[in-house]
Structure 1
Amino acid sequence: MASKSVFVGKWSYLMPDTNADPDGRIVLIEMLSFGPCEVYEWGIDNNGLPYEEYQWCENEFFKDENYFKHITKKELTEQIEDVIRVFSEHELSEWANTYCKILDRLNSDLL
């Protein structure tokens, strides 16, 4: 079983969970940086719509940069494909395979 997180460059990726969280969201990609402290998240919201969320956690200076927005299924698919490329390039095949399975499920409307 893969670890719960992995560092690639300055980013820590958390292992996805295809089960909905308490808010009904399915978080497919979660990337955290600790310098500066920021979080990106992509997934499916509680209404079944793809989303992207960004949070700046470092200080109050960029708090206005935080956002939550709906994106297209194509944009979510492209983001997953980018993550697969990153993991493949860094020889993290177990992580890449996990995202390939997620991509297959997304393309088959099983998420």
Structure 2
Amino acid sequence: MKTETEKTVSWCCPSGLETEELEYPEFDPLQMNRFVARDPYLRMMFQDLQQKGHAAELALEVLFNANVLEDSAMTREYNSYFLPKEDNSNDENNSIGAKISPPKRNECLSSKP
């Protein structure tokens, strides 16, 4: 029989989500750069931070801390931009602070980045 605490945790967190949803992603500037390149809000905030004189990597980390951490939907989206280290070489947003431009119209409509 479950204790009162176990019942509360099961009620608050659907089965299987306790460990998956509560883990924090690690900041990766290249991965965040890919995410910023595809998201209009993050792109606008990134450009604003750079106009205020912040370095590209610092701006990406600020956006990561403010928007990705503690937000399960943003965390899932951020994780979708993960590429193994050996696959990063052909990415157009591979360098930190690369010119971030809006995606092409057909890229916005695709389900995968």
Q: Same fold (TM over 0.5)?
A: no
Larger radius of gyration between Structure 1 and Structure 2: 2
Instruction: State the structure with bigger RCO (CA 8 A, min sep 6), 1 or 2.
Output: 2
Q: Normalising by structure 1, report the TM-score.
A: 0.29
Bigger share in helix: 2
Q: Normalising by structure 2, report the TM-score.
A: 0.29
Bigger share in strand: 1
